[in-house]
Amino acid sequence: MAPVPISTLNVGHIDDVQELRKTKPKTIPQRFVRDMTERPTLDDTALSSPQSDLPVIDFSKLSKGNKEEVLSELCKLAIACEEWGFFQVINHEIDLNLLESIENMSREFFMQPLEEKQKYPMAPGTVQGYGQAFVFSEDQKLDWCNMFALGIEPHYVRNPNLWPKKPARLSETIEEYSEGIRKLCQYLLEYIALGLGLKGDAFEKVFGAAVQAIRMNYYPPCSRPDLVLGLSPHSDGSALTVLQQAKGSPVGLQILKNSTWVPVQPIPNALVINIGDTLEVLTNGKYRSVEHRAVAHEEQDRLSIVTFYAPSYEVELGPMQEFFDENHPCKYRRYNHGEYSKHYVTNKLQGKKTLDFAKIQVENTN
Ligand code: OGA
Ligand code: NI
């Protein structure tokens, strides 16, 4: 059956979550109330033991350390990627004032009147601008979140009409911030390659002109955080994702580890990094993109600034030859990354389901 054009889908009226919150509704509208099986576990005290804390990578040891420090940190990085798919980076060499500025200005952006934000509407079926992405039907549950997203690099992915004029220096700050984060992604990909025994430029070579996008997620408080989700479970369609949690934000990000949702405890000034679908495919599943979600908080709001770094839409991707042989068959087919990106943004967020696009179905030999 031919897919239904997105512009003709009936997604119904989508409430703006901040406006909804202002009306202090006595009950949460049904479209936000999750089915029993999807409702979050919020008791993070039970789960936050040192063993369940994300690995912490000291970037300065990789960039400036002596040989011994570099090797030991590369090893830590490799274990973090293989066992967690998520880690926090400290001493990342991005100006802390820049992190603070992007946080303050993003917050200011979301605090503006709705009509100001609606000058940058996210068109149905697209992912740039202000609005709720990944909504495709009237009966789909909605996330307790407002989003504002922009394509950054290469320039042809930009939609200049969506770059905000207010607050005054936000666009400029996004530009500067993205440059810093882009370098960090490039270095991390180099270290990840080295940790895998590949040449440092192995990923960059495959990627071509990498695509970079930014998304600010604002999660208002919710009177019933036990019923809603801030962001539905998903893996990221990128190669690498960099997430900044604004200062003073409550715990909200959770990752699925051994079938348990583990909360990510924010470390001041650290950045959270995770492996996306592209690296899972390239490493033939040695590194996996881990499912994660965000939960809401009863009293506090939460802001995150997320950068997605991915290959050029033009490249063909598949497992790299270092990761398969007669005994380790290819688990993913080759595909065009642009097609994958399109598939990702035209489907609702649903755990790791989008990656089925690239999976080779194992034949039942019995
Ligand atoms: C994302 C994401 C989590 C968060 O934007 O892809 O996983 O804590 N965000 O905002
Ligand atoms: Ni994500």
Name the residue ranges covered by the structural domains of the chain. 6-15+32-94+120-160+175-358
Q: Which atom of ligand 1 lies closest to the CA of 245?
A: 8
41-45, 117-121, 308-312, range with the lowest pLDDT: 41-45
- Residue 320 is encoded by which pair of tokens? 């790299």
Q: Give the DSSP letter of residue 305.
A: E
Site to substitute for ligand 1 among 231, 234, 307, most atoms within 8 A of C-beta: 231
Q: Which residues are bridge partners to 308 per DSSP?
A: 213, 241
Instruction: Give the C-alpha separation, 305 to 174, whole Å.
Output: 10
| Of the candidates 283, 249, 241, 253, the residue with the CA atom closest to the CA atom of residue 268 | 249
Q: Is 9 helix (H, G, I), strand (E, B) or coil?
A: coil
Quick one: which H or E segment has residue 271? strand 271-275
φ/ψ of residue 302, rounded to 5: -145, 140
Query: What's the gap in Å between 365 CA and the centre of ligand 2?
Result: 36
Q: Is the pLDDT of residue 50 over 70?
A: no
- Residues with Cβ within 8 Å of 338's Cβ and at least 6 positions away in sequence, in order, are 313, 314
Query: What's the gap in Å between 322 CA and the centre of ligand 1?
Result: 31
Query: What's the gap in Å between 32 CA and the centre of ligand 2?
Result: 19
Give the pLDDT band (50/70/90) at residue 42: confident
CATH class of segment(s) 6-15+32-94+120-160+175-358? mainly beta
Output the average pLDDT for the chain.
Answer: 92
Do residues 188 and 88 touch, judged by C-beta distance below 8 A?
A: no
Give the pLDDT band (50/70/90) at residue 7: low
Ligand 1 pocket, 146 CB below 6 A? Answer: no
- Residue 296 is encoded by which pair of tokens? 């809401």
5-19, 106-120, 287-301, range with the lowest pLDDT: 5-19
Ligand 1 pocket, 292 CB below 6 A? Answer: yes
Instruction: Give the C-alpha separation, 152 to 162, whole Å.
Output: 11
Ligand number, closest to the Cα atom of 305: 1
- Percent of the chain at pLDDT > 90 equals 82
40-49, 214-223, 233-242, range with the lowest pLDDT: 40-49
Query: What's the gap in Å between 292 CA and the centre of ligand 2?
Result: 6
Ligand 1 pocket, 215 CB below 6 A? Answer: yes
What count of other Cβ atoms lies within 10 Å of the Cβ of residue 124? 16
Q: What is the pLDDT of residue 366?
A: 47
Considering only CA atoms, give the Rg of the chain: 20
Give the pLDDT band (50/70/90) at residue 135: confident
The pTM (predicted TM-score) of the whole model is 0.94
Site to substitute for ligand 1 among 150, 253, 303, most atoms within 8 A of C-beta: 253
Q: Is 218 helix (H, G, I), strand (E, B) or coil?
A: strand
CA angle 254, 257, 262 (to 5 degrees): 30
For the stretch 154-210, pLDDT in tens is 999 999 999 999 999 999 999 999 999 999 999 999 999 999 999 999 999 999 999
11-15, 90-94, 304-308, range with the lowest pLDDT: 11-15
Ligand 1 pocket, 217 CB below 6 A? Answer: yes
What count of other Cβ atoms lies within 10 Å of the Cβ of residue 320? 18
By alpha-carbon position, which residue is closest to atom 10 of ligand 1?
304
Q: Is the pLDDT of residue 51 over 80?
A: no
Q: What is the pLDDT of residue 123?
A: 83
For the stretch 301-342, pLDDT in tens is 999 999 999 999 999 999 999 999 999 999 999 999 999 999
φ/ψ of residue 323, rounded to 5: -110, 10
| Of the candidates 135, 131, 147, the residue with the CA atom closest to the CA atom of residue 9 | 135
Give the pLDDT band (50/70/90) at residue 24: confident
Q: What is the pLDDT of residue 44?
A: 58
φ/ψ of residue 274, rounded to 5: -140, 155
By alpha-carbon position, which residue is closest to atom 8 of ligand 1?
253
Q: Give the DSSP letter of residue 270.
A: -
Write b or e for each residue in 298-309: b if 16 or more Cβ atoms lie within 10 A of its Cβ, otherwise e.
Answer: eeebbbbbbbbb
| Of the candidates 287, 239, 230, 221, the residue with the CA atom closest to the CA atom of residue 264 | 230
Q: What is the pLDDT of residue 1?
A: 44
Do residues 124 and 188 touch, judged by C-beta distance below 8 A?
A: no
Do residues 18 and 220 touch, judged by C-beta distance below 8 A?
A: yes
Site to substitute for ligand 1 among 232, 241, 309, most atoms within 8 A of C-beta: 241
Q: Which atom of ligand 1 lies closest to the CA of 306?
A: 5
